[in-house]
A and B are shown apart, each in its own frame.
Chain A
């Protein structure tokens, strides 16, 4: 039930943002639409609704957006340099990395962050052993430990505070 209420609030919030200049008619339709979506799919949204009441998780999420943007900028410039240089200095391969994250949301965010950071993207994921297969445009290390340290660690610590 709590999961349904949270989904209703988020859905209504996004509806109001989409039709920003506020008017009453729009808001009433939004209440019905958000309630319909929450009633149909609400129980799939989250299994641990109490996480939404922890303020520190939101602060860590803001910090995570900042760190992610910075990593993204650095990696973008690096890949752009590889693409436009005439010798095409790439060294690709698929490596295996380990993660300590357990929750589905945490693993999804980790895989998406890795994919969005240029130079690395996630090919497959095995949640039961906590391993991800990453295609890396410039393989610095084939060893699982070393690759995990280079790719996963910078996101993992923050994500474990948000989603675990």
Chain B
């Protein structure tokens, strides 16, 4: 039973990782593509790791997978944050269909 549940979690994670990759190709500019990347991390990779925890239970493998989730959730947003801020400081423009850019207005 727990194995079936674990495989469902892993399949779910794989599906969302694929959606993230599709988004990475289809979306127009740096900032929108970063949105797709953070989506991959939360429901994609964490769901795969959680599936491993469900299959293996709380032994050596399962606990390491659980710790991986914690460290991934702590570090991934920092990378996205640094990339976005660096891109904006380096003068990368937003997509022409963007509605507003309050950051640009305030940093003048």
User: Interface on chain B toward A: helix, strand, loop, or mixed SS?
Assistant: helix
Residues A116 and B31 in contact, CB atoms below 8 Å apart: no
How extensive is the interface on chain A, given as a class?
Answer: 35 or more
Quick check: which of A50-58, A131-139, A153-161 contacts chain B, the rest being far away? A131-139
Q: Contacts A14-B67, A121-B35 given; indicate if A94 touches B94 (C-beta within 8 A).
A: yes
CB neighbours of A80 from chain B (8 A): 16, 19, 39
Q: Contacts A79-B23, A95-B100, A124-B103 given; indicate if A116 touches B41 (C-beta within 8 A).
A: yes
Interface size on B, residues (CB 8 A): 45
Nearest to B67 among chain A residues (CB) is A17
CB neighbours of A122 from chain B (8 A): 77, 81, 84
Q: Which residues 13-37 of B have a CB within 8 angstroms of A?
A: 16, 19, 22-23, 26-29, 31-32, 34-36
Residues A95 and B32 in contact, CB atoms below 8 Å apart: no
CB neighbours of B77 from chain A (8 A): 111-112, 115-116, 121-122
Chain A positions within 8 Å of B, measured between CB atoms, are 14, 17-18, 20-21, 72-73, 76, 79-80, 83-84, 88, 90-96, 111-112, 115-119, 121-124, 133, 135, 137, 139, 142, 144
